[in-house]
Amino acid sequence: MDIEPKQTIPSRWETFLMNVPTETTSPTVEVRLRIPEGFEVEAVGHRTDWDVAIHRDPHGLIREITWSGGRIPSLTFDEFKLLAKAAISPGPYEWQARQRYADDQESTWTMRTIVQAEASGSPTQKAEEALKTAQAAMTISFLAIGLATVLIIITLVNIWQGVRAKGRRDE
């Protein structure tokens, strides 16, 4: 089991995605997730194939979510979404999960999200982000150039066919 994003910044609202694999021969029939202290869950992604039970603390904050009534077959996975605000304080935060299978066996999982201060990104990490942005911009530029080239060729062919058809009528 895994949760994304693995890193965030304090108080950022994000869609968290929990990947739940079934690594046994018996399908998964229930998933329970405990929310780390300091995180605020605003909403749980809608699923028509799973029942969702939400457990709140005395302050009304969601502290645990249970998905049941669905099935994740053997050697497959499913995704569960939630909209949550990261903790205010930087540091590692652990999500505790329990997975129950149709044969009543259980697996427990600990997943981690690191809340980093905004300025704590390393130069290497910033360079990698800049490279990804540049690659995306370059890809879009190449697509635009390719599209423009195709449109120019189509226009030239149409002009050529028009001139050729006009020449035949004049004869």
How do residues 140-163 score in pLDDT, each as one tens digit?
887 888 888 989 999 998 898 887
Residues 109 and 156 reside in one and the same domain: no
CATH code (residue 96)? 2.60.40.2230
Residues 85 and 150 reside in one and the same domain: no
Among left, alpha and beta (phi > 0; psi -120 to 50; other), residue 91 is left
Residues 153 and 109 reside in one and the same domain: no
DSSP state of 43: E
Residues β-bridged to residue 107: 99
Q: What is the pTM of this model?
A: 0.68
7: amino acid identity, one letter: Q
Residues 105 and 33 reside in one and the same domain: yes
> Pairing between strand 7-8 and 106-115?
parallel
Report whether 59 contacts 105 (CB < 8 A): no
Residues 21 and 57 reside in one and the same domain: yes
What backbone torsions phi and psi does residue 117 show, to the nearest 5 degrees?
Answer: -60, 145
Residues 30 and 81 reside in one and the same domain: yes
Domain of 130 in residue numbering reads as 121-171
Arithmetic mean of pLDDT, 16-23 = 96
Token output for 48: 């028509």
Residues 155 and 108 reside in one and the same domain: no
C-alpha angle 29-46-16 in degrees, rounded to nearest 5: 85
Q: Omega before 5 cis (within 30°)?
A: yes
Residues 114 and 141 reside in one and the same domain: no
65 pLDDT higher than 90: yes
Residues 129 and 92 reside in one and the same domain: no
Residues 115 and 62 reside in one and the same domain: yes
157: amino acid identity, one letter: V
Arithmetic mean of pLDDT, 49-61 = 95
The pLDDT of residue 143 is: 80
Residues 113 and 125 reside in one and the same domain: no
At 12, is the pLDDT very low, low, confident or very high (cuts 50, 70, 90)? very high
Please give the share of the chain, as a percent, with pLDDT higher than 70: 94
Report whether 82 contacts 61 (CB < 8 A): no
The pLDDT of residue 141 is: 82
CA 111: distance to chain centroid? 16
For the chain, give the mean pLDDT: 90
In whole angstroms, give the CA distance from residue 47 to residue 62.
18
Residue of 17, 21, 80 whose CA lies nearest to 51: 80
What total number of domains does the chain contain? 2
